[in-house]
């Protein structure tokens, strides 16, 4: 039977010489590769002192955005949850009550908004699907955690701070 690829290599079954039995050529070849890499540029970044440059298409942690007046942009339309192929986003909508105009832009808002980061594949479809630019992906890595419930980010974890309250 013929192989599908031509990657098969013939194996030499001849007996080993004395030097080959001592593995001297293999050790010399390995040391040559090691010495060749000593003089190359290092790929390591000294993290606290140097910052790694991100790719322009890097997708990090999700962030829920606010408008210029500090109101939440999310109107709980659910397009981000529908667009998510991993079904990592869940939300519950609620109606805005009288007197809450300074908190929410529209009559409807997301009372509960959660992203399960263990399911998220960082595809960015939620960002593209949002008609209000309420969710975007920042240049922040997802932090590590010891428990599964620490990877489910709720609305308080995702919402950026209110610019009016932080300036006071």
What's residue 56's pLDDT?
Answer: 85
80 labelled as ligand-binding? yes
Give domain status of residue 55, yes or no: no
What's residue 105's pLDDT?
Answer: 82
What's residue 21's pLDDT?
Answer: 85
Give domain status of residue 16, yes or no: no
Give domain status of residue 121, yes or no: yes
Give domain status of residue 36, yes or no: no
Question: What integer best gives the mean pLDDT of the chain?
Answer: 87
Number of domains in the chain: 1
31 labelled as ligand-binding? no
78 labelled as ligand-binding? no
CATH number at residue 82: 3.30.70.3270
What's residue 33's pLDDT?
Answer: 94
71 labelled as ligand-binding? no
Q: Which residues constitute the domain of residue 132?
A: 62-162
102 labelled as ligand-binding? no
142 labelled as ligand-binding? no
130 labelled as ligand-binding? yes
- 8 A C-beta contact, residue 139 and residue 56: no
Closest Cα to residue 80, out of 119, 132, 158?
A: 132
User: What is the rounded CA–CA span in Å between residue 103 and residue 120?
Assistant: 28
Q: How do residues 96-131 score in pLDDT, each as one tens digit? A: 888 888 888 888 999 999 999 999 999 999 999 999
Q: What is the CA radius of gyration of the chain?
A: 27
74 labelled as ligand-binding? yes
């Amino acid at each position: 039977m013929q192989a599908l690829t031509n990657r098969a290599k013939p194996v030499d079954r001849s007996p080993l010489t004395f030097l080959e039995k001592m593995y001297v050529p293999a050790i010399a070849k390995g040391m040559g590769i090691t010495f060749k890499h000593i003089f190359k540029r290092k790929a390591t970044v000294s993290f606290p002192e140097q910052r790694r440059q991100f790719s322009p298409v890097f997708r990090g942690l999700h962030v829920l955005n606010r408008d210029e007046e500090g109101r939440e942009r999310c109107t709980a339309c659910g397009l981000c949850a529908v667009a998510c192929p991993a079904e990592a986003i869940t939300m519950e909508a609620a109606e805005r009550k009288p007197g809450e105009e300074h908190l929410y832009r529209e009559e409807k808002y997301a009372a509960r908004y959660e992203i399960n980061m263990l399911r998220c594949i960082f595809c960015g479809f939620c960002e593209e699907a949002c008609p209000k630019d309420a969710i975007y992906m920042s240049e922040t890595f997802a932090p590590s955690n010891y428990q599964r419930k620490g990877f489910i980010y709720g609305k308080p974890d995702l919402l950026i701070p209110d610019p009016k309250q932080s300036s006071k």
